[in-house]
Amino acid sequence: MNTGFRMLAHLFLLSFVLTACHTAQKFAESGDYDSAIDFCVRKLQGKSKKKTEYVQGLEAAFQKAQARDLAAIDHLVAENRPENWERVNAIHRSIRNRQDKITPLLPLQSKDGYAARFELIDIARLESESRQKAAEHLYNQAKELISKGERGDKLAARDAYYALCDLESHYYRDYKDKNELMATARDLGTSYILFEMKNQSNTVLPRQFAERLMNIGKSDLDSDWKAYFFEEKPGVQYDYKATFKVRNIDISPERINERNYTDEKEIEDGYDYVLDSKGNVLKDSLGNDVKTKHYSRIRANVIEVYQTKAARLTGYVEIYDLSRKVLMDTRDMGTEVLFENYASTFSGDERALSRDSRNRIGNRPQPFPADEDMLVQAAERIKPNLREELRRNKAIL
């Protein structure tokens, strides 16, 4: 029994080692040397007796990863392109991380006496040099893009801002006049939009109409690169003007319609005895009287008063490029406010009333809303559509 158990344990251990070696080899053969390194490091950390296959696997994967990265750096530097320094610095940081992983294991020797050799390079100096050159490239690139932004290219100014963000997040938090340049790029890249309303209808609009419409929600419209203004401010150079023009307002007369109708229903209201041929009450097999349900038709006469009034508003949005003095886009918009009220009374049997009739019974005629109130409602109702149109309009960069 003990011999068999020891044989199974030996086979299990051999299977585990082969599987582990196969895993490291699989990473290495696919070119994923850093995954092979991570795998071997995990197998070697904290072990007093280090297995030769992991030591040799780590050595081989490290040499191949270093050779690959150093060759890539040589190629990038030989191209003599400033934009390559970002990639060079990324590779230098990868090399630094790789060397930091194996340094705690050095000197590395297996339990069988195999001593691995690792050629470490002065990566701190190299990484510092490439970081400086990458930052310098982004800085110079941002300045060139800002120059384009000063000539009216807003997208270039935004790219300048993003380049400076990369400089800050990847290389140096403080670098020359980076903060001032970021503020300049932000200002040049932002589209400043003046929103206004014009009444081109033949109707005098109440003061609250414009107040409600102009209260469209600056926080809902502003984005990273768009800033809306609802009154013209001195010293602000606007890029676009968005104008909502009220074209037509139609307010219907106050209408009152009356109609009479009857609700009918058949209800059970008792029962009738069934008689036999002799006129006596028929009995069932248990001696009980045989009865049938009795139904009656009931009615309720309804008088319904229906009140209605509608206000319709139509207009359009114009997007005007102020710098080029060009009309960029026009979109039609409109909305309707409807006042409805039902008031009903009835005579007859209440049980005959339908659900709709029952819901309206007891309602009273209401005063019609004033024209001004309906127009203010229309302004409130069209605001979400107007806001969405301004947010998604492609004419505003």
What are the DSSP calls for 311-365, one per residue?
EEEEEEEEEEETTTTEEEEEEEEEEEEEEEEEEEEEEE-GGG--HHHHHHBT---
Whether residue 173 is found in the same domain as residue 237: no
Query: Within a domain: residue 10?
Result: no
pLDDT (tens, 9 = 90+) of the chain, 397 residues, equals 444 444 444 434 334 334 445 566 676 677 788 998 999 999 999 888 889 999 999 999 999 999 999 999 999 999 999 999 999 999 999 999 999 999 999 999 999 999 999 999 999 999 999 999 999 999 999 999 999 999 999 999 999 999 999 999 999 999 999 999 999 999 999 999 999 999 999 889 998 998 888 888 888 899 889 999 998 888 889 999 999 999 999 999 999 999 999 988 888 777 777 777 777 777 777 878 777 777 788 898 988 899 999 999 999 999 999 988 999 999 999 999 999 998 888 898 888 888 888 888 878 889 999 999 999 999 999 999 999 999 888 899 8
Chain-centre distance for alpha carbon 8: 57
Query: Within a domain: residue 8?
Result: no
pLDDT at 16: 38
Range of the domain at 172: 131-189
Residue 65 in contact with residue 27, Cβ under 8 Å?
Answer: no
Nearest to 332 by CA among 226, 246, 270, 257: 246
Whether residue 71 is found in the same domain as residue 163: no
Query: Within a domain: residue 98?
Result: yes
Please give the radius of gyration of the chain, using alpha carbons only, rounded to the nearest integer.
42
Query: Within a domain: residue 334?
Result: yes
Whether residue 364 is found in the same domain as residue 394: yes
Whether residue 100 is found in the same domain as residue 197: no
Residue 101 buriedness (CB in 10 A; 0-12 / 13-18 / 19+): middle
Whether residue 379 is found in the same domain as residue 391: yes
How many folded domains does the chain comprise? 3
3-state secondary structure 74-130: HHHHHCCCCCHHHHHHHHHHHHHHHHHHHHHHCCCECCCCCECCCCCCCHHHHHHHH
Query: Within a domain: residue 40?
Result: yes
CATH of the domain at 202: 3.30.160
pLDDT at 24: 62
pTM equals 0.71
Whether residue 364 is found in the same domain as residue 243: yes
3-state class (DSSP) for residue 45: coil
- Report the distance separating Cα 324 and Cα 240, nearest Å: 10
- Rounded to the nearest 10 degrees, the angle between the axes of helix 178-189 and helix 123-150 is 40
- Report the distance separating Cα 383 and Cα 386, nearest Å: 5
Whether residue 142 is found in the same domain as residue 210: no
Whether residue 274 is found in the same domain as residue 294: yes
Nearest to 356 by CA among 299, 296, 309, 302: 302
CA atoms within 13 A on the CB side of 304: 18
Output the CA angle 377-381-386, nearest 5 degrees: 135
Query: Within a domain: residue 62?
Result: yes
Whether residue 242 is found in the same domain as residue 374: yes
Residue 371 in contact with residue 205, Cβ under 8 Å?
Answer: no
Query: Within a domain: residue 1?
Result: no
As given in the structure block, the two tokens for residue 151 are 């000539």
**Which of these three, 189, 216, 232, is where a domain ends?**
189
**Which of these three, 82, 98, 121, is where a domain ends?**
121
- Report the distance separating Cα 199 and Cα 244, nearest Å: 9
Whether residue 258 is found in the same domain as residue 308: yes
**Which of these three, 97, 121, 145, is where a domain ends?**
121
Query: Within a domain: residue 244?
Result: yes
- Report the distance separating Cα 214 and Cα 230, nearest Å: 7
Whether residue 198 is found in the same domain as residue 156: no
Whether residue 113 is found in the same domain as residue 197: no
